[in-house]
Amino acid sequence: MAINGSTKLYGILGHPVGHSLSPVMHNAALAAMGINGVYIPMDVTDIRAAVSGLRALGFIGVSVTIPHKEEVMGCLDEIDPVAQRIGAVNTLLFRQKPGEERVTARGFNTDWLGANLALAEKIPLTGSRVLVIGAGGAAKGVCFGLVEAGAEVVITNRTKAKGQALADWLGCSFIPSDQVGDIHADALINTTSVGMEPDVDGIAVAPALLDNFSVVMDIVYAPLTTRLLREAEKAGCQTIDGLSMLLFQAAVQLKIWTGEKPPQDVMRRALVEELRRRKAS
């Protein structure tokens, strides 16, 4: 589809963002839906200036990734009640109301839905015990969803004050990083950027501790098979890569932006093909 004056603008804000698989997935979906639109990656450090620029440029919808999911909330006109409760936003919708000059920016959070749907493919969420590593914007969404689904959540984080604050807000447990070895749970979820390109040798938990978990999930998807997931497979764990969560949460984003049901099969195929291309190059 040719880009012209009627092309709708979408994209993703993050830092770094060059590794993101979202553009290939969303562009494939837009094309399959017959929408004259383009989705572009935007590496930004000044989130307030970025949101202001998106308003002026006429963007329709934007994804927000690390490290802007919390700070972006201060740049918005409206925040969905669920995102407000979570305290993090990963989806922006821009709209100009009839008769008004100002473009309004509304924030949503679809991370929690993506994580729940991905983990539910492996274990029942209700009654399960899950250790979550991290306390940033992604962790807020993941932990919120698990608690809503009836799981027992235990949080660990390098910065104790931040991790304890998230645990207190959710009414769940917090343990310092040096006590992770004492925890046995149905699943472990890494919500940090540890192990993400270019730091592919990074790992969020010592490999020797992974046999304490039945399922290990990493929200990092670049690389798709992180060191954490490789070590978890060696320990006999079931693993969930960042692709499933990415796909599920992105499908919800597209529904918010377009009002139409997204083609998840097309999106998954585009992701797999792009990963194969990157591996071959």
Rounded to an integer, what distance in angstroms lies between the CA atom of residue 265 and that of residue 115? 18
β-bridge partners, 154: 131, 173
Can you give the pLDDT at residue 281?
Answer: 82
Where does CATH 3.40.50.720 sit in the chain? 112-240
pLDDT tens for residues 35-89? 999 999 999 999 999 999 999 999 999 999 989 999 999 999 999 999 999 888 9
Read off the pLDDT of each residue in 135-143 and give the average, rounded to a whole number. 90
Q: Which of 181, 134, 179 is nearest to 153 (CA)?
A: 134
Can you give the pLDDT at residue 87?
Answer: 87
69 annotated active-site:
yes
Residue ranges of alpha helices (H) inside the chain are: 22-32, 47-57, 81-86, 111-120, 137-148, 160-170, 227-234, 242-258, 264-280
Rounded to an integer, what distance in angstroms lies between the CA atom of residue 22 and that of residue 250? 8
Which H or E element spans position 173?
strand 173-176
Which H or E element spans position 133?
strand 129-133
Q: Which of 58, 53, 43, 46 is nearest to 8 (CA)?
A: 58
Can you give the pLDDT at residue 278?
Answer: 87
pLDDT tens for residues 4-35? 999 999 999 999 999 899 999 999 999 999 99
Read off the pLDDT of each residue in 225-237 and give the average, rounded to a whole number. 97
* CATH architecture of the domain covering 8-109+249-280: 3-Layer(aba) Sandwich (3.40)
Is pLDDT at 198 greater than 90 in this prediction?
A: no
Q: What percent of the chain is modeled with pLDDT above 90?
A: 86
Can you give the pLDDT at residue 1?
Answer: 67
Read off the pLDDT of each residue in 91-101 and give the average, rounded to a whole number. 90
Read off the pLDDT of each residue in 174-201 and give the average, rounded to a whole number. 95
Tokens for 57?
Answer: 């440029």
Read off the pLDDT of each residue in 125-142 and give the average, rounded to a whole number. 94
Can you give the pLDDT at residue 70?
Answer: 92
Can you give the pLDDT at residue 276?
Answer: 87
The mean pLDDT of the chain is 95
Of 8, 69, 97, 160, the active-site residue reads 69
| The domain over range 112-240 is classified in CATH as 3.40.50.720 | yes
Q: Nearest-5° angle of CA 222, CA 52, CA 23?
A: 25
Bridging pattern class, strands 91-96 and 59-64: antiparallel
Where does CATH 3.40.50.10860 sit in the chain? 8-109+249-280
Can you give the pLDDT at residue 104?
Answer: 96
Q: What percent of the chain is modeled with pLDDT above 70?
A: 100
Q: Which of 89, 18, 102 is nearest to 56 (CA)?
A: 102
